[in-house]
Amino acid sequence: MPLPLAADVPDRLTDYDQWVCWREQDRDGKPTKVPVNPATGQYASATDSETWTGFDHARLHASDGHADGVGFVFTADDPFVGVDLDAARDPDAGEPIDWAATIIETLDSYTEISPSGTGYHVLIEGTLPPGRNRRGDVEIYETARFFTVTGRHVPRTPVSIHARSEALTTIYRDHVADDTDHEQSNTSPSAADEQPRSSTLSDADLIDRARSATNGEKFDRLWRGDITGYDSQSEADMALCCLLAFWTGGDTGRMDSLFRQSGLMREKWDEVHYADGSTYGETTLQRASNVTTDHYTPSSKEHEQTETDAAQRPTTTSTTPGSTATIADDRVDRDHEETIARLESRLQELEAENDRLRAERNAERAKRKELEADSPTEIMTGGFVGQLKQYLFGQD
């Protein structure tokens, strides 16, 4: 597939240095598009601007054969929203199927054909309503996500990006919003009290702290989508979800929101994989929350102290060494540091246990391969395998 030229892409997009490359990788038997840093060729992150660049640089990197294409990262600093329509185009007829045609006509903004040739990307200016981001073949994002950009403009659609907030609300309500979304605000206080207490940190602060922790290198690697050291992406998904459970207090809603910003996010996350109708992502989050019993939860003193500091920051009032306020602050800091140290130690123990179990499993696999490699003669005569069966099961 040819790379887009700057003239093929709306000027509004190329004005931003929020471009990455992407390449297709096979993960769990499914092709997945992963973001690539044009400067290094390593994994890029939709939440790390250090891994982005301008359009020209990204295109140059891809044109050298180091990547399959280029993509744009949506952030809170730009006005754009991306609407991804999967399985929406008949590649033979070259036309959208009915439901997709309705969405494209309603949004009436720049629309292009996806890399696969079976979908569409619609780019608009607007604000995404709160709630889920995807249902079925319709996915909508406005931040912490990258979209592939092909420049294959769809005829009879605008060549520029237009503001379409009202149209977006309509599309979201009709195609994405959960039927129970409107009930969320009616949750009783007692039910809310039963939910896990999520960290009061912002997403950016939470990610920074996770990266700075003792196991921060592992978190950063998973966050970027690097599954090195894991036998499958599913194992890597679980590992990242356990870390997120620790930092969010086991809040599966917050964990889901964060995971969707990571480099591990893929289509499988929202696919129904179980008879009860639950998706792969929902089940992974719940399992991670269940097995992660230690959490990082800022104390109420720490939260109150943060608010107090913010309120008093403009003043010139100072505290003298040894004053009651200074002693209280020091005590809060020490308690906070001790809590982090204790929980990080527990995390290290859990990781060590996980490594031990993985080593045992690999050893068992190696033994199995040795058994399978026995010569036909040995197998037929019952040699080693027969002796093993007799030893294990008392069989003659």
| Shared domain check, 60 and 24 | yes
Using a pLDDT cut of 70, give the percent of the chain over it: 70
| Shared domain check, 204 and 161 | no
Determine, yes or no, domain membership for 386: no
Determine, yes or no, domain membership for 339: no
Q: pLDDT at position 311, please?
A: 45
| Shared domain check, 221 and 132 | no
- Per-residue pLDDT at 192 exceeds 50: no
Give the confidence band of 388 by pLDDT, cuts at 50, 70, 90.
low
Residues with Cβ < 8 Å from 32, sequence gap 6 or more?
Answer: 24, 25, 26, 266, 267
Cα-trace Rg, the chain: 26
Determine, yes or no, domain membership for 45: yes
Q: What is the chain's mean pLDDT, rounded?
A: 79
The helix (run of H) or strand (run of E) holding residue 273 is none
Determine, yes or no, domain membership for 332: no
| Shared domain check, 272 and 125 | no
Give the confidence band of 386 by pLDDT, cuts at 50, 70, 90.
low
Please report which residue ranges of 23-116 form alpha helices under DSSP H.
Answer: 55-61, 98-107
The helix (run of H) or strand (run of E) holding residue 210 is helix 203-212
Per-range mean pLDDT, top range of 104-118, 169-183, 299-313, 350-364: 104-118
Determine, yes or no, domain membership for 93: yes
| Shared domain check, 217 and 151 | no
Determine, yes or no, domain membership for 71: yes
Q: Quick one: tokens of 222?
A: 């998973």
Amino acid at residue number 205: D
Number of structural domains the chain divides into: 2
Determine, yes or no, domain membership for 297: no
| Shared domain check, 37 and 67 | yes
Determine, yes or no, domain membership for 340: no
Q: Which of 210-219, 261-270, 280-289, 373-382 has the lowest mean pLDDT?
A: 373-382
Give the confidence band of 317 by pLDDT, cuts at 50, 70, 90.
very low
Closest CA to 42 of 25, 18, 22: 22
- Which of 291, 308, 338 terminates a domain? The answer is 291
Task: Please indicate whether residue 106 or residue 190 has the higher confidence score (pLDDT).
Answer: 106
Cα 231 from chain centre: 19
Residues 41-60, mean pLDDT to the nearest whole number: 92
The helix (run of H) or strand (run of E) holding residue 272 is none
Write out the E strands in the chain. 19-27, 30-36, 69-74, 80-85, 89-90, 95-96, 111-113, 120-125, 134-135, 138-141, 145-149, 162-163
Instruction: Provide the 10 A C-beta neighbour count for residue 293.
Output: 11
Residues 228-250, mean pLDDT to the nearest whole number: 89
Task: Please indicate whether residue 119 or residue 328 has the higher confidence score (pLDDT).
Answer: 119
The whole domain housing 174 covers: 8-179
| Shared domain check, 118 and 20 | yes
Closest CA to 260 of 283, 240, 242: 240
| Shared domain check, 207 and 126 | no
| Shared domain check, 160 and 100 | yes
Closest CA to 237 of 32, 6, 384: 32
Residues with Cβ < 8 Å from 269, sequence gap 6 or more?
Answer: 259, 260, 279, 280, 281
| Shared domain check, 83 and 28 | yes
In the chain, the largest separation of any two C-alpha atoms, in whole Å, equals 90
Per-range mean pLDDT, top range of 27-31, 140-144, 392-396: 140-144
- Which of 150, 179, 208 terminates a domain? The answer is 179
Determine contact, residues 171/83, Cβ cutoff 8 Å.
yes
| Shared domain check, 203 and 109 | no
Across-strand partners of 387? none
| Shared domain check, 63 and 31 | yes
Residues 53-77, mean pLDDT to the nearest whole number: 94
Task: Please indicate whether residue 261 or residue 372 has the higher confidence score (pLDDT).
Answer: 261
Give the confidence band of 330 by pLDDT, cuts at 50, 70, 90.
very low
pLDDT, tens digit, for every residue of 126-173? 988 877 788 889 999 888 789 999 999 999 999 999 999 999 999 999
Q: pLDDT at position 372, please?
A: 63
- Which of 235, 258, 291 terminates a domain? The answer is 291
Q: pLDDT at position 193, please?
A: 39
